[in-house]
Structure 1
Amino acid sequence: MVTQTLSSYITASSYEKIGEKAIYEAKRSLLNWLGVAIGGSQHESVKKVLAVSQVIGSSPQASVLGRTEKVDMLFAALLNGLSSHVDDFDDTLLETVLHPSAPVYPAVLSFAEYQKKSGKDVLEAFIVGTEAAARVALSVYPSHYWKGWHITGSVGGIGAAAAISTMMRLNVEETLFAIGIAATDPTGLREMFGTMTKPYHPGKAAMNGMLAALMAAQGFTSSTKSLEAERGFVKALSNEESFEMITKKWGETYEIEKNSYKPFASGVVTHPAIDGIISIQKKYQLLPQQVEWIEITGHPLVEELTGKKIITTGLEGKFSVYHCVAAAFFQLKAGIHEFTDDCVNDSCIKGLREKVRLVINETYREDQAQVKVKLYDGREYIHTVDHAIGSQQNPMTDQQLQDKFIDVTGSIINTEKKRRLIDLIAHLDEVDDLAEFFALCCPVFTENHS
């Protein structure tokens, strides 16, 4: 009865039942997600998928955020999910390393634009969809992830289906079928990390989830036990059977309240190491020729997810803790520029990269690391990061998120639009017509610029 119970909880949810803390964090999540979506909108991978939509003849129903084009709702969900994850700068629920916004907000906003939904509709659907995705993630983590599934893609479709079911006010049976349709279509292999296919995962999850809800609304059926059955989602894709995590204490607190935001444009498990090397460099201003070696001690996922030593592209660099530390040593940051092809192939950074070594400590948390720098003259400098900046225990402030939004959107939208979007999102629950929101996401340059 797990899927049935989850469906009944989803359909019983309402904006009025959601606490202020969850609504506040949903707004912060939107600001962060929208910034990276607009910032990633000009990436080559987005252009390639957009070209596919044009070959197919996609109807202009919803915006590709940060671009002038409109496509159908499904392709808009795919493209906006892709663009928001392409720079690996989006949010994370660290307990399962799920990126909650990338598969859910693209579906919600694409549907909201075409169906003329309100700001409250958007926030409610996002919170409910994220809750569903996060709880399913908790039921299959960690074995699901270690088997090779990219959890953002695999459970994200279920979250998107729950979100769109909420917006469509589907009944319990229809929501049950929407979850089942999404559950049968998991997306994402970790083998794809460092390629264009990695950010495709949340986009495809958003697309799958929306399609699942639309099909369920037409009476398309699925198993009524898609999550808990012997050959259902949880048992087929993991060694866990933590079914209680899916429904336990639903509505008492919300998983979105635990969301964390990235100050660095790389795999989240690299952030403690980046934080540590920047702290050392700010204090001592070391030169690369002084350094004999740099030792990073961290959680096992640092090696599992970001252990790439031989890299040639910026996308690969995001999954190389060696590059992350070397680039941050020189630049005192790890933003979008530090993960370009040029930066990855810079001779000075490549040279320092070879001096970085990794030590795994299974007692460390994902947001914890120790950075030790040994100089040729015998001096050693050590910095321990207990909670990396951006983690739940050391969160980015509202001002830092606003500054990030302004920075990552670059020249795609102008300063006036940026300031207006920041204000609009802060008061999104008061907005009945989202037309201005989508207009503000449209770029200031012509299509030829991109």
Structure 2
Amino acid sequence: MGTTPDRPFAGEALGAFVAASRWAEIGPALRHEAGRSLLNFFGCALGAAGDPAVETAARVMAPFSGPERATVIGRAERLDAMGASFVNTIAANLLDYDDTHLETVIHPTAPVASPLLALAEIRGLTGAEVLHAFILGAEVECRIGAAVSPGHYDRGWHITSTAGVFGAAAGCARLLGLDARQCWHALGIAASQSAGLVENLPSAAKNVGMGNAARNGLLAALMAQAGYTAAPAAIEGPLGWARAMGDAPDLGRITAGLGQEWEFARNTYKPYPAGIVFHAAIDACLELRQRVAPDDIASVLVEGDQLLLDRGDRLVASARDCRVSIHHSAAVALLRGSAGVADFSEGALHDPGIAALRGRVKAGLDAGLPRGAARVTLHDRRGRAFSALVMDARGSAARPLTDEELEAKFRENASIGGRESDAGPLIQRIWRIGDAADPAALLRSLGAA
């Protein structure tokens, strides 16, 4: 294998980056961002640990699990590394509450962190090794995603699943100590295991794609370690991953500034357990609730770009629909003045007041609004109009959640998972995971007795 006349193959460049990176070169800000991501990840997984979808995933995987055992977050089961990776990724993403790289709409942490944590627990690796591999894997995931955005997602590929497998492969390759050539092969093998559909977003099938990204990335790294090889241009070749699943990739987004400019540094965190495109609408509705009493609302118009309508202008028939619904997001924010986990549950779905207000919400296109923005206009029963425009949602890069807000979110999720009493000590241990000689003790403490 070699290079093209003007640049290395995409996998070659990424493989060299992953293998050559040194922990001492990772700055404090990036290390801290990784800690924020893991705190958010663990909280989201704890909050969903009792969900029937997680229960089912754990039950299905258990008979096929090998002898080595890793923690399933918030649960008593212990599975092998692939099984734990699969289930923990599903749990962390299930509530639509995990982190987001806004440009690509990738949720970076769940598919990358899960297999790394499982490997660390089984093989006795250090916290610094895990944090370093996580940062590298998330960076690879976001760069590959950026190279095929937005056409890849627009074609119906669920980009967190499809790009997540590359992040998992890269992170696991680093944690396993693969050299640059083996890392390159791991990414090429991962290219043949990439899948996930946007059509499945309102169903648990979406989360199967997420879980597969984690365990397939681990499998790709293990196969490369054992000597399996892949085509040099498996990512960007004429019949490679990117062209098969979208447009010709922008290779500059994959390779430019590797190790100097970090896509992962642009990670953001959700204040609401719903699709990221609905957050500006929720913010606008919470603002309008201060001006109009819910009983006085006659009609609601939520306007945004085409993506907002494509993702959220839908009938609501299940709790999963609620998390990807313009109508439900607006209704709960206006009626309850909140948009937490309980507001997107089965109880909220069947709440008569929310259902009635959902029916008075309409969605409209405003092509002049940028992606992520929303305008909400209310008419009260006297015919008066009230409007709120939110250009940058809470939790976005322009209005990021603070560490304290992430800790409060962790406490909320830990309480849902029955871990409210030890949330404080867990938060402190997660913040210090990079200093842990044996993070396995923390991971085991996150399981259920």
**TM-score tier (shorter):** over 0.9
Deviation at 1:166, TM superposition (A): 0.7
Aligned to 1:238: 246
Residue 45 to residue 59, structure 1, CA distance change in 2 (3 Å)? farther
Aligned to 1:249: 257
Aligned to 1:264: 272
Asked whether the 8 Å contact 1:36–1:84 carries over to 2, the reply is yes
Amino acid at match of 2:30: A
Pick from 420, 430, 446 the counterpart of residue 425 of structure 1: 430
Q: Return the alpha-carbon distance in structure 2 between the equivalents of residues 57 and 121 of structure 1.
A: 25
Q: Does 1:122 align with 2:127?
A: no
Pick from 291, 305, 329 the counterpart of residue 284 of structure 1: 291
Amino acid at match of 1:184: S
Aligned to 1:11: 19
Q: Return the alpha-carbon distance in structure 2 between the equivalents of residues 194 and 284 of structure 1.
A: 32
How do residues 33-432 of structure 1 correspond to structure 2 at under 5 angstroms?
Answer: 33-281=41-289, 283-288=290-295, 290-308=296-314, 310-410=315-415, 412-432=417-437
Asked whether the 8 Å contact 2:65–2:80 carries over to 1, the reply is no
Pick from 14, 26, 30 the counterpart of residue 34 of structure 2: 26
Instruction: Give the secondary structure class of the aligned counterpart of 1:99.
Output: coil
Asked whether the 8 Å contact 2:141–2:167 carries over to 1, the reply is yes
Asked whether the 8 Å contact 2:65–2:83 carries over to 1, the reply is no
Amino acid at match of 2:403: D
Instruction: Give the secondary structure class of the aligned counterpart of 1:31.
Output: helix
Q: Does 339-348 or 20-29 show the bigger shift?
A: 339-348
Q: Return the alpha-carbon distance in structure 2 between the equivalents of residues 331 and 228 of structure 1.
A: 48
Segments of structure 2 that go 5 or more residues without pairing to the other structure are: 1-8
Asked whether the 8 Å contact 1:117–1:433 carries over to 2, the reply is yes
Instruction: Give the secondary structure class of the aligned counterpart of 2:426.
Output: helix
Amino acid at match of 1:401: L
TM-score (norm: length of structure 1): 0.95
Q: Return the alpha-carbon distance in structure 2 between the equivalents of residues 416 and 286 of structure 1.
A: 36
Q: Return the alpha-carbon distance in structure 1 between the equivalents of residues 370 and 56 of structure 2.
A: 38
Deviation at 1:413, TM superposition (A): 4.7
Segments of structure 1 that go 5 or more residues without pairing to the other structure are: none
CA RMSD of aligned residues (A): 1.4
Q: Return the alpha-carbon distance in structure 1 between the equivalents of residues 175 and 188 of structure 2.
A: 18
Q: What fraction of aligned residue pairs are identical, expressed as a percent?
A: 31
Instruction: Give the secondary structure class of the aligned counterpart of 1:333.
Output: coil
Amino acid at match of 1:297: E
Encode CA deviations 1:272-310: one digit per residue, 9 max, x unaligned.
Answer: 0001101111x225133x2221111112211111221x2
Deviation at 1:96, TM superposition (A): 0.7
Encode CA deviations 1:387-438: one digit per residue, 9 max, x unaligned.
Answer: 1000011011111100000001115353453111211122222111113311
Asked whether the 8 Å contact 1:89–1:265 carries over to 2, the reply is yes
Length, aligned pairs only: 441
Q: Return the alpha-carbon distance in structure 1 between the equivalents of residues 34 and 367 of structure 2.
A: 32
Aligned to 2:6: none
Q: Return the alpha-carbon distance in structure 2 between the equivalents of residues 271 and 57 of structure 1.
A: 39
Aligned to 1:435: 440
Asked whether the 8 Å contact 1:417–1:440 carries over to 2, the reply is no
Instruction: Give the secondary structure class of the aligned counterpart of 1:329.
Output: helix
Instruction: Give the secondary structure class of the aligned counterpart of 2:99.
Output: coil
Q: Return the alpha-carbon distance in structure 1 between the equivalents of residues 366 and 385 of structure 2.
A: 20
Instruction: Give the secondary structure class of the aligned counterpart of 2:388.
Output: strand
Residue 415 to residue 348, structure 1, CA distance change in 2 (3 Å)? closer
